[in-house]
Amino acid sequence: MKQLPPDTVRLLSSSQVITSVANVVKELMENSLDAGASGIDVKLENYGLDRIEVRDNGHGIKAADTPVMAMRHFTSKICSHEDLERLETYGFRGEALGSICAVAEVAVTTKTEEDEISTQYTLNFTGEIVSQKPSHLGQGTTVSVLKLFRNLPVRRQYYSSTKKCKEELKKVQDLLMAYAIIKPELRLMLVHNKVVVWQKAKVADHRSALLATLGPSAVANLLSCHHHQEQPEIFLDGFFPKPGADYSSTSSSSPDKTFIFINNRPVHHKDIMKLLRQHYTAQYPDDQGRNRYPNLMLKITVTPSSVDVNLTPDKTQVLLHNKEAVLTSVEALLVSLYGYQPSSDPSAEKE
Ligand code: ADP
Ligand code: MG
């Protein structure tokens, strides 16, 4: 038996953290948000396979930190695992930049308030700075990712098909929409091959942000709903379709306009999704059991110590310590809105 060479180990673990174009965009946008950015521009070339560029106007990276910014397990966000109990940032593992360096060519341009000019750093496979030069960009950080998966030919090939390219662009747009909804004050722009695909200006509240993402007809039918429970403390804030307002899709291929957030993090949560669909669909008994996918937003806020976000490398799945209590709260909100009681419905499926 032999120990794998360090470069192989690095490539293997990085390719688990960085799995797709959308995943790169997510990590870079979250870094921008953690840096307090109020504007983020995402530019893609050839669906991101040739170039992904994420530019923000956040606080930038201090010159002293730049040598380690892409070193594995270097982070400015937590000091020990205890800090995870009160996590308020999207990032915490110090893994993204270093992992992207292992699967693409990366340059980071950054300027803090104190810096007179910005500097562009070119990084190598292991995340070390190999060259630097002055740049003209303003305050904030721009990360450029070229030739994604250049050293993972099977994966690059997989993402190169027309179908996959289009799917990935849609995922990137959905991702921007999710952050647009949860951060109304954020200005966002998505450009593909120099054409603006989607953009959103700074707005005042979640309803205006939903208007910019779902459109006026969907938003006209959304009701603002709240629910608060103590011990464990759970806050639910959402925008749900008014009872009888048919703003949904019956196609399981587009369930993506159901936006769920746990502590401001866009998540996929199967059980919550199922509950939302079940209560919404129950209004349409003629659908013969076909699920409906409502356009809605649900924001769940719990104490940071009761969530484990470190479940999957892409952090889109979370473990809720009080899952049952959260589901019960969500159900109470849905019952008050749609009046459907699964316990009195013999056809309601139970897991
Ligand atoms: P993490 O986000 O888990 O800390 P990353 O590898 O994503 O790890 O980033 C490493 C560090 O680089 C961050 O902790 C932060 O200090 C810095 N950094 C990365 N991107 C940005 C950015 N857009 N603006 C400011 N600092 C950044
Ligand atoms: Mg990060």
Q: Which amino acid is at 181?
A: I
Residue 120: pLDDT band with limits 50, 70, 90? very high
What pLDDT score was predicted for residue 351? 42
Domains identified in the chain, total number: 2
Cα 257 to middle of ligand 1, angstroms: 29
Q: Which residues are CB-contacts of 206 (< 8 A; sequence separation ≥ 6)?
A: 181, 182, 184, 237, 239, 297, 299
- Label residue 171 by pLDDT band (50, 70, 90): very high
Residue 317 lies in a domain: yes
Q: Does pLDDT of 253 surpass 50? A: no
CB 18 within 8 A of CB 159: no
Integer-rounded Cα Rg, in Å, for the chain is 22
**Do 188 and 240 belong to one domain?**
no
Query: Is the predicted pLDDT of residue 180 greater than 60, yes or no?
Result: yes
Each residue's pLDDT tens digit, 295-338: 899 999 998 888 887 777 777 778 888 899 999 999 999 999 98
Tell whether 1 is covered by a domain.
no
Q: Which ligand is nearest to the CA of 33?
A: 1
Whether pLDDT at 91 is above 90:
no
| 349 lies in some domain | no
Shortest-distance atom of ligand 1 to CA 69: 12
Which pair of tokens denotes residue 58? Answer: 């956040």
Domain-terminating residue out of 165, 200, 235 = 200
Helix then strand count (H, E) for the chain reads 9, 17
- 285-294 residue pLDDT tens: 776 667 777 8
Q: Is residue 206 part of a domain?
A: no
Mutate to test the pocket of ligand 1, among 41, 66, 75 (most ligand atoms within 8 A of CB): 75
Pocket perturbation via mutation, ligand 1, pick of 24, 31, 310 by most ligand atoms within 8 A of CB: 31
**Ligand 1: which residue has its CA nearest to atom 12?**
69
Q: Is the pLDDT of residue 350 over 70?
A: no
Are 148 and 256 within one domain?
A: no
> Do 11 and 156 belong to one domain?
yes
Residue 23 lies in a domain: yes
Q: What percent of the chain has pLDDT over 70?
A: 93
* 184 and 328 both lie in a single domain: no
The closest of 76, 51, 79, 80 to 66, measured between CA atoms, is 76
Q: What is the pLDDT of residue 289?
A: 63
Ligand 1 neighbours (beta carbon < 6 A): 27, 31-32, 35, 56, 58, 60-61, 69, 75-77, 91-98, 141
Q: Residue 33 C-alpha to ligand 2 middle, in angstroms?
A: 10
Q: Domain with 49 in it: what CATH number? A: 3.30.565.10
| Closest ligand by atom to 309 CA | 1
My answer on whether 31 and 117 are in the same domain is: yes
Note the pLDDT of residue 248: 60
Name the pLDDT band for 348 (thresholds 50, 70, 90). Answer: low
Look at residue 243 and tell me whether its pLDDT is greater than 90.
Answer: no
190 and 81 inside one domain? yes
Report the residue among 18, 95, 97, 103 best suited for mutation to probe ligand 1: largest number of ligand atoms under 8 A from its CB.
Answer: 97
The yes-or-no verdict on residue 28 having pLDDT over 90 is: yes
Contact in structure between 73 and 94 (CB atoms under 8 Å): yes
Instruction: Let me know if residue 205 belongs to a domain.
Output: no
Residue nearest (by alpha carbon) to ligand 1 atom 15: 76
Residues 185 and 246 in one domain: no
Over range 159-179, report the average pLDDT.
95
Domain range for 321? 214-344
SS3 211: helix
Nearest ligand by distance to the CA of 143: 1
Among 154, 178, 200, residue at a domain's last position: 200
Q: What is the mean pLDDT of the chain?
A: 89
Residue 229 pLDDT > 60, yes or no? Answer: yes
If you average pLDDT over residues 185-193, what whole number do you get? 98
| CATH code at position 336 | 3.30.230.10
Last residue of a domain, one of 169, 200, 231: 200
- Whether 223 and 182 map to the same domain: the answer is no
pLDDT tens-digit map of 95-110: 899 999 999 999 999 9
Q: Report the nearest atom of ligand 1 relative to the CA of 76.
A: 14
Q: What is the pLDDT of residues 195-210, one digit of tens each?
A: 999 999 999 999 999 9
Q: Are residues 192 and 58 in the same domain?
A: yes
Within this chain, do residues 244 and 283 fall inside the same structural domain, yes or no? yes
pLDDT above 70 for 165: yes
Residue 22 near residue 175, CB atoms below 8 Å: yes
351 located within any domain: no
Supply the pTM of this predicted model: 0.92
Residues 11 and 148 placed together within one structural domain of the fold: yes
Residues 30 and 155 in one domain: yes
Residue 208 lies in a domain: no
pLDDT class of 284 with cuts at 50, 70, 90: confident
Confidence of residue 221 (pLDDT cuts 50, 70, 90): confident
